[in-house]
Amino acid sequence: MGKVWLVGAGPGAADLLTLRAARVIASADIVFHDALVQPDVLALASRARLVDVGKRDGRHSTEQRFINRAIVEAARTHPVVVRLKGGDPMVYGRAQEELDALAAAGIATEVVPGITSALAASASLGISLTRRGAARHVAFVTPRTGAGEAASDWLAAAASADTVALYMASRQAPAIAAALVGAGRSPATPACVVENASLATERIATTTLGALAGHSPLALEGPAVLLVGEVFREARAARPNLPWTPAAQSGSIGPERRLLAGR
């Protein structure tokens, strides 16, 4: 039996991987990776067979039960198996299903954390999610539910938290903003959408819940996180309007970061 490592690939930029993640990826015999893992991260797996098991919104995706089965079978023939997930495996990464399947098969596992997209987005904005005196609590929520799952009570958490990070929500951002206003949040509450956080293609849009609720669906080119709360008022003042402002003009990614990232 081999060992399976569930590794967080972070938000995108390869130099945001942890040292442990980079070491494990480099030692892998086979890597099962998400669709959004960047090529320069996959390049670290120089001796491994790469298997794309990504889930793509609106397109054909690999079912979770097949992923579970493939990882278990791989561990029976490969010493080092890596399941490479965008962001952090334990934050909306469906890690628990895979851990349970591996445990049932008696296969050793270890999780290597990664930077989740909400934290990368707040870093790009230069805004603390828990700014002292302004935000005592943060909610990570998603309105999305899978087939056969019970409806999520995400709205109650999102309506009451000082700061909210909404995952897998940006394509429905106008409807979500309207729901938050309907649940009692002020229409003047700042909202930010950060797309491709940490990458050279990062884009940031700022607005308010009221304006977002009346906006047309956002044209997105990559994964995005929706951030809501009074802590983002300064970001709103610096970047006042939808639609998107290119990252190179917004200042969210300076030349020094592109240099450090090798871009």
φ, ψ at 108 (rounded to 5°): -65, 140
Please give the pLDDT value at position 2.
96
Counting as low any pLDDT under 70, the low residues of the chain are 56-61, 146-150, 239-263
Please give the pLDDT value at position 170.
82
Please give the pLDDT value at position 246.
37
What is the C-alpha to C-alpha distance for residues 96 and 75, in angstroms, rounded to an integer? Answer: 17
The three-state (H, E, C) secondary structure of the chain, written as one string: CCEEEEEECECCCHHHCCHHHHHHHHCCCEEEECCCCCHHHHCCCCCCEEEECCCCCCCCCCCHHHHHHHHHHHHCCCCEEEEEECECCCCCCCHHHHHHHHHHCCCEEEEECCCCHHHHHHHHHCCCCCCCCCCCCEEEECCCCCCCCCCCCHHHHHHHCCEEEECCCHHHHHHHHHHHHHCCCCCCCEEEEEECCCCCCCEEEEEEHHHHHCCCCCCCCCCEEEEEEHHHHHHHHHCCCCCCEEHHHHCCCCHHHHHHCCC
Please give the pLDDT value at position 217.
83
Please give the pLDDT value at position 263.
24
Per-residue pLDDT tens digits for 17-69 = 999 999 999 999 999 999 999 999 999 999 999 999 987 655 556 899 999 99
Please give the pLDDT value at position 236.
76
Please give the pLDDT value at position 234.
86
Q: List, by residue number, the catalytic residues.
A: 34, 55, 168
Give this prediction's pTM. 0.86
**Which domains occur in the chain, in start order?**
3-112 (3.40.1010.10), 117-260 (3.30.950.10)
Please give the pLDDT value at position 180.
97
Indicate the pairing of strand 163-166 with strand 138-141.
parallel
Please give the pLDDT value at position 260.
25
